[in-house]
Structure 1
Amino acid sequence: MIRVTPRISIEDSELQEDFLRASGAGGQNIQKVETAVQLRFDVAHSPNLPEPVRQRLLRLGGRRITGEGVLVITAQRHRTQARNREDALERLLELIREAAAPPPPPRRPTKPTLGSKTRRLEGKAKRGDVKRMRGRPDQD
């Protein structure tokens, strides 16, 4: 069991890892060794995720979610397979933690008070007076 939050844990059997060659520059090592990790987690059918968390995770996953509801995370930042495995798992756990956090309550719009409106208009009038005084004096 992998503990994500105090209330959410996922089983190791729910994760599927595939190893592949990383892309990009790197010379012989990157061309010969399968260091990149592709981690798959079936969000849609996971029994350990509460329904609201599942819905938020599907939304947060974006393009990483397949049509069947499987989250695919590819890690190839590091030179070794072990570090890429840790990186992929940590990114998955971070996504689940973000989905587990409840959304903030919606903002209730408020109107400015009469005092704040009055102060704003007085400030604008004072600023206008200052600018008016900068002009040339009248030729009377």
Structure 2
Amino acid sequence: MLSVSRSIVLPDSELVVRFLRADGPGGQHVNRTESAVELRFDVLHSPSLPDDVRARLLARSDRRLTDEGVLVIQARRFRDQGRNREDARERLLEILRAALVVPKKRVATKPTRASQKRRLEGKQQRGKLKQARSRSWSHE
């Protein structure tokens, strides 16, 4: 059971945990033990997530999110399988809690007259520089 917030609780049945061999330090022992953890959570088909949270999660441009809407987290920071499992669950919680926050709506504002003037002056200066460049360079 993974408690995301007061209203959202993910049952363990929605989390798929797989163990794999980790790379990195550990000597000969690392070749025989599966201490790395891959945690999969199906965001698209999860009945525990509210629709707005699901939409925000799926809208993220996150490389850990597959085309099928499955969030894949790999934890191999530690040499201990139990610690890696906890690390993966914590990282999933961070992602889910970040999706709970409703982003503020952007309020459209007009550019100030001074900023418009600065922009146009900058464009004119750049144009003059390019114009001067083309006059000094000749075809031979």
TM-score tier, shorter chain, comes to: 0.7 to 0.9
Distance 2:83 2:35 in 1: 9
- 73-82 vs 97-106, which moves further: 97-106
Structure 1: gaps spanning 5 or more residues: 118-140
How does 1:30-109 map onto structure 2 within 5 Å? Answer: 30-60=30-60, 62-109=62-109
Aligned-partner SS, 2:17: strand
> What amino acid is aligned across from residue 67 of structure 2 in structure 1?
G
Are the counterparts in 2 of residues 43 and 57 from structure 1 also a CA contact under 8 Å? yes
Whichever of the two has the greater Rg, that structure is: 1
TM-score normalised over the length of structure 1 = 0.73
Q: 1:101 and 1:29 mapped to 2: Cα distance?
A: 43
Taking the aligned partners of 1:109 and 1:27, their CA distance within structure 2 comes to: 60
Contact 1:60/1:95 (CA < 8 Å) preserved in 2? no
Cα RMSD of the aligned pairs, angstroms, is: 1.8
Where do 5+ consecutive residues of structure 2 fail to align? 115-140
User: CA offsets, 1:25-70, max 9 Å, x none?
Assistant: 4322322210000000010000011111111112336211122111
Structure 2 Cα separation of the partners of residues 96 and 104 of structure 1:
18
What CA distance in whole angstroms lies between the structure 1 residues aligned with 2:82 and 2:92? 16
- Structure 1 residue ranges (4+ consecutive) displaced by more than 4 angstroms after TM superposition: 110-113
Matched, 1:14 2:18: no
Q: Deviations over 1:81-129 (max 9, x none)?
A: 000000000000110000111112213426669xxx7xxxxxxxxxxxx
Alignment TM-score, normalising by the size of structure 2:
0.73
Between the aligned partners of 1:93 and 1:6, the Cα distance in structure 2 is: 13
Cα distance between partner residues in 1 of 2:22 and 2:56: 30
Distance, in Å, in 1 between the alignment partners of 2:61 and 2:112 is 39
Tell me: CA distance 1:28–1:61, structure 2 relative to 1, closer, same or farther (3 Å). Answer: farther
SS in 2 for 1:63: coil
Q: Secondary structure at the match of 1:74?
A: strand
What letter corresponds to residue 26 of structure 1 in structure 2? Answer: G
Counterpart amino acid of residue 107 in structure 2: R
Q: How many residues align?
A: 114
Aligned partner of 1:122 in structure 2 is: none
